[in-house]
Structure 1
Amino acid sequence: MTEPFRLTASQAQAAFKDGSLTVEAYAKSLLDRVSVRDSTTHAWAYLDPKLVLERARELDKILPEKRGPLHGVAIGVKDVILTKDMPTQYNSPIYKDDAPKLDAASVQTLRANGALIFGKTTTTEFASTSVGPPYAGPKTANPHDPSRTPGGSSSGSGAAVGDMQVPIGLGTQTVGSTIRPGSFNGIYAMKPTWNSISREGQKVYSLILDTLGLYARSVDDLKLLLDVFHLVDDEPEEEFAIKGAKFALLTLPQPEWDAPGPGTAAALKKGADLLRAHGAEIEEITLPDEFRPMYDYQLKVLAGEGRVAFLADYYTAKDQLHPLLISHVENEKKYTRKEQLKAFDDLAAMRPKVDALADKYAAIIGPSVVDEAPTGHENTGSAQFCGPWTVMHMPVVNIPGFKGENGMPIGLSVVAARYRDQHLLRVSREVGKIFEAEGGWARNP
């Protein structure tokens, strides 16, 4: 019999329904996994086993006909998202042991649908820096090679899901904080369309960039979450088949992008070859020159919105803030308001144009990361290949299946136009079957 901690959320739910598994027994299996593995991964900022088991027993008492669509599903929550029964500390000494007595809207939604909120996962400081968490103590590590970073800023959620300590994790993304850990940890990661899931009750870095991120080990589990959060496309659901579908493949390097490492370059080539072998049409594209200022504009947006987001912390505890956040508040780069307005307005004008480009294809395929997870824990890696889709507000899914020169996982991103999240999941399900089966990377036992 499969050990319960190995089950995806959808598999665990099936076992709850047929009575072969209780939520309490499932929670105990996950807690046992954490007790064995967290000394290696250090994925948790806060976890109270007694509270987890108490909540699990409460869920087991709910009558089958009254159970929600996420009944018993264990979810790790990034420690920038408020939880009423656990501290929210933002990986900052300013908020050590701080425990607001309310849930973020996303957590409220999950609880109302029967989820088991398992614990708080580690993050970089305020989900805004590239320094590996936590600020004190052992650093969060990649479960497939603890000498390497799991990525960031959603470090703990990526590591915990990748290591089968929970089946689902919540992250956030402002540039690449969900997709990059997805690739590094060998799991599915989704950044939905911007502003499609409430961010009320989570620390905001940028109002026009921050998006809730979702981690799972299967597309079916991502589908559970999208349905609970009421993400609905305008067009009706249709079956998707790889044969006859047309994909865009980003040629690299694109303007303003660095060249990929050997692992990502090989993954892009192999991914395209696999899709062609299964009957898809692949068209190589380069983003038009009018999109070249995108990254420069993104930096100006981050700096301008960071001035507001971290002002209160700057006044109350400047000595405990990361220099990057201080530089935002003090406008170290001397960006003018006119420059920031141009960035806001030009980015807004770009978005429908990129949507129109994406709508010509089943999806755009591009890199998730530069290469395998880097060695060391002081830096969580480059997010340059994630930023364009974030600033364009487009939904993105990291699909695992490939490996680099050191045997570490590498994923590829599939991208669709805004508010085509369900379509993107249908594409991801079929692409994922091929990449996982034939890409060359296999999950560690």
Structure 2
Amino acid sequence: MEPCFLTAAEAASAIRAGTLTSEALLRSCIARIEARDPVVKAWLYLDKAKAIATARELDKRPPMGPLHGLPIGVKDMIDTADMPTTYNSPVFQDYRPARDAACVAVARYSGAVILGKTDTVEFAAAGRRAATRNPKNPAHTPGGSSSGSGAAVGDRQVQLAFGTQTGGSHIRPASFNGIYGMKPTWGTVSREGAKQYANMLDTIGWYGRSVADLALVGSAFRLHDVGEIGIPSVAGLRVAICRTPFWDQIEPAGAAALEIASKRLEKAGAKLIDLTLPPAFDGMFEAQNTIMMAEGRASFLDVALEFGERLHVDFHDRVNNKLEITPENLLAAYNLAAGCRRAFEALYADFDVVLTPAAPGEAPEGTYNTGNHIFNAMWTLLHVPCLGIPCTTGPTGLPVGVQIVAPRYGDARLLALGEAMAPIIDEETALYAVAA
């Protein structure tokens, strides 16, 4: 097997054992990029020579941390000191930050090789879409705004990549690209050096090809108790099936994925519980949108004033409060979210984990429509950790995933649950385990 096809956890283990070098891994990933990226278009910037030189240097050193020798892609609205950060915006094509974003610095000092910058929706918000195509079918979107990161990991061009989520920009592309995604508890990973959209919502996450990959990155960020919690048995696990108040927006492929995942877990001995959220949760999608647009008004004011008509009209619409959001509207949204956070966590006395859709269905056709965040927005606003798991394929053969959700700061427990549940939910992982 070419090293680029290894998961991050497998590659890390091989590097530690001395059976694989970081340089060999980087060269394999670069060869994959050269072969595939003319179609997939996941990357906005690559410095292949520097990545290989960095890997060669790491091969001379003792392990720096859990990500030692592993390549990682960085969504191009996250600052990198040695690479441009363009935000996929025509007005920032020459921007060179002076410092790494905090998440990039953590990865670098944990031994990762920063391979390059991945394409994104402009400012991870609106305006220009990424040029990236879905690696499973280039006629379809990879999702957004973490378009390039999701596609690069899904196409085996890199083991790991950073994404971000303000509405559904991280977990939804995980579903569309058939990969694993971790959106940690809001605030557990520093957002310093990442372009702000909505302070109350923005969360930095990461993609991998297994739950073990996600846990590896979680350990680098020192998420509380990661690696310290035992993997539970699925038999007897109380799994709450949450169709959410927005079930009328589900597509047949999304409904089928949730049903398939539920039946696989039930067959493995899990106890399924139907979870209907209290009526207050009906307003959470609107509340998330209100907060996102209102806080975006402040986040994009400076660039609107600086660049005027050169900046996409989407950002002027936010700055000029096109939706006419009042302070009373915003306060009501904040208050609803605060109440629902407490109410959601109180429900956990009755179950161990929530299983819910990660996206309405398969990735839409075209690249402009990056997908609907209706099944992500509420969880983002609740500030809870979410873990995207591949499940099945839809009628056109594109991936459809699900997500599991835990209470705030239950990230380590969620990763342990994911380790137990993923081999059952993920059709491909289950087949691989049987073959092995």
Q: TM-score, normalising length from structure 2?
A: 0.95
Matches of 2:30 and 2:360, distance apart in 1: 34
Within the alignment, does 1:33 sit opposite 2:32 as a pair? yes
- Post-superposition CA distance 1:112-139 (Å, at most 9, x none): 1111111000000100027531xxxxx2
Q: 1:433 aligns with which of 386, 399, 423?
A: 423
Distance 1:373 1:435 in 2: 19
Q: Would you say the 8 A contact 1:131–1:379 is kept in 2?
A: no
Cα shift at 1:239:
3.4
1:282 aligned to 2:282? Answer: no
CA-based RMSD of the aligned residues comes to 1.8
- Checking the alignment, whether the CA contact within 8 Å between 1:43 and 1:122 is kept in structure 2 is yes
* SS of residue paired to 2:55: helix
Q: Is the Cα–Cα contact under 8 Å of residues 73 and 116 in structure 2 kept in the other structure?
A: yes
In structure 2, the partner of 1:57 is: 56
Q: Which residue of 2 aligns with 1:296?
A: 286
Structure 1 counterpart of 2:405: 415
Per-residue deviation, 1:106: 0.6
2:122 aligned residue (102, 121, 125): 125
1:78 aligns with 2:78: no
Q: How many Å separate the matches in 2 of 1:153 and 1:130?
A: 11
Which residue number corresponds to residue 160 of structure 1? 152
2:313 matched residue in structure 1:
323
Secondary structure of 1:283 counterpart: strand
CA offsets per residue over residues 278-313 of structure 1, 9 Å max, x none?
A: 111111122111111111111211121111100011
CA contact (8 A) 1:94 1:320 kept: yes
CA distance in 1 between partners of 2:72 and 2:274 (Å) = 38
**Following the alignment from structure 1 to structure 2, what is the Cα–Cα distance between the partners of residues 382 and 146?**
19
Q: What's the secondary structure of 1:293's corresponding residue?
A: helix
Is the CA contact 1:130–1:381 (under 8 Å) kept in the aligned structure 2? no
Counterpart selection for 1:270 from 253, 260, 276 = 260
Contact 2:422 2:429 (8 Å CA) reproduced: no
Q: 1:69: which partner in 2?
A: 66
CA separation in 2, counterparts of 1:439 and 1:417? Answer: 26
Name the CA distance, whole Å, in 1 between partners of 2:303 and 2:76: 17
- Contact 1:403 1:440 survives alignment (8 Å): no
Deviation at 1:11, TM superposition (A): 1.1
Residue 56 to residue 402, structure 1, CA distance change in 2 (3 Å):
same
Asked if the contact 1:161/1:187 (under 8 Å) is kept, the reply is yes
Mapping of 1:386-405 within 5 angstroms? 386-405=376-395
| Residue-by-residue CA offset, 1:66-95 (whole Å, 9 max, x unaligned) | 532211010000001110100000010110
Map residues 161-180 of structure 1 onto 2, 5 A cutoff.
161-180=153-172
* SS state at 2:182 partner: strand
List, as ranges, runs of 4+ consecutive aligned residues in structure 1 with deviation greater than 4 Å.
Answer: 233-236, 438-442
In the TM superposition, residue 344 of structure 1 has moved relative to its aligned partner by 1.3
Tell me if the contact between 2:127 and 2:313 (Cα under 8 Å) persists in the aligned partners.
Answer: no
User: 3-state SS of the aligned residue for 1:145?
Assistant: coil
CA positional deviation for 1:321: 2.5
Are 1:93 and 2:87 an aligned pair?
no
Distance 2:264 2:51 in 1: 43
Asked if 2 retains the 8 angstrom alpha-carbon contact of 1:409 and 1:441, the reply is no
Give, in angstroms, the shift of residue 362 of structure 1.
1.7
Partner of 1:228: 220
Instruction: After superposition, give the CA deviation of every residue in 1:253-302 in whole Å (9 maximum; x if it has no partner).
Output: x4345331111111111111111111111111221111111111112111
In structure 2, distance between residues paired with 1:69 and 1:440: 26
Structure 2 distance, partners of 1:55, 1:131, is: 32
Query: Equivalents in 1 of 2:72, 2:292: separation in Å?
Result: 29
Structure 2 gaps of 5+ residues are none
- 1:123-171: CA deviations, max 9, x gaps? 00100027531xxxxx200001111000000000000000010000100
- Please list every run of 5 or more consecutive structure 1 residues that lacks an aligned counterpart in the other structure: 134-138
The normalised TM-score by structure 1 is 0.94
Aligned partners of 2:149, 2:193: CA distance in 1, in Å? 18
> Number of paired residues?
432
Q: Structure 2: which amino acid aligns with 1:395?
A: P
Q: Deviations over 1:161-213 (max 9, x none)?
A: 00010000100000000001000000001111000100011001011100001
What is the alpha-carbon distance in structure 2 between the residues aligned to residue 300 and residue 18 of structure 1? 51
In the alignment, which residue of structure 2 is the partner of 1:136?
Answer: none
Q: CA deviation at 1:360?
A: 2.7
Output one character per residue of 1:4-41: Cα deviation in whole Å (capped at 9) or x when no partner. 11111111122212222211111111100000000011
Contact 1:400 1:411 in 2 (8 A): yes
CA separation of 1:142/1:18 partners in 2, compared to 1, >3 Å: closer, same or farther? same
CA distance in 2, matches of 1:341, 1:185: 36
Aligned 8 A contact 1:79 1:123 in 2: yes
- Aligned residue among 93, 107, 115 for 2:104: 107
CA gap 1:232/1:440 in 2 versus in 1, 3 angstroms: closer
Q: SS at 2:248's partner residue? A: coil
